[in-house]
A and B are shown apart, each in its own frame.
Chain A
Amino acid sequence: EPEVTQTPSHQVTQMGQEVILRCVPISNHLYFYWYRQILGQKVEFLVSFYNNEISEKSEIFDDQFSVERPDGSNFTLKIRSTKLEDSAMYFCASRTTSGPYEQYFGPGTRLTVT
Chain B
Amino acid sequence: QQQVKQSPQSLIVQKGGISIINCAYENTAFDYFPWYQQFPGKGPALLIAIRPDVSEKKEGRFTISFNKSAKQFSLHIMDSQPGDSATYFCAASRFIGGTSYGKLTFGQGTILTVHP
Contact = CB atoms under 8 A, between A and B. Distances in A.
Interface in B14-43: 32, 34, 36, 41-43
B49 interface: yes
Interface in B75-116: 89, 91, 93, 96, 99-109
What are the 10 tightest A-B residue pairs by CB atom distance, in nearest-first order?
A105-B43, A45-B103, A43-B106, A101-B101, A42-B106, A102-B46, A42-B108, A105-B44, A98-B99, A107-B43
Interface of B: 32, 34, 36, 41-46, 49, 89, 91, 93, 96, 99-109
A93 B38 CA distance: 14
A93 B102 CA distance: 13
Interface in A11-64: 31, 33, 35, 41-45, 48, 50, 55-56, 58
23 contacts: A4-B43, A31-B100, A41-B108, A42-B106, A42-B107, A43-B104, A45-B103, A50-B100, A56-B102, A56-B103, A91-B43, A93-B43, A100-B49, A101-B101, A102-B34, A102-B49, A104-B46, A105-B36, A105-B45, A106-B43, A107-B41, A107-B42, A108-B43
Nearest to B99: A98
Nearest to A98: B99
A105 B100 CA distance: 17
Contact of A58 (B32, B41, B89, B103): B103
A33 B42 contact: no
B102 A97 contact: no
Contacts of B42: 107-108
A24 to B, nearest CB: 13
B89 to A, nearest CB: 6
Nearest to B109: A42
Contacts of A93: 43
Contacts of B101: 101
B99 A43 contact: no
Contacts of B96: 56
B43 A101 contact: no
A2 interface: no
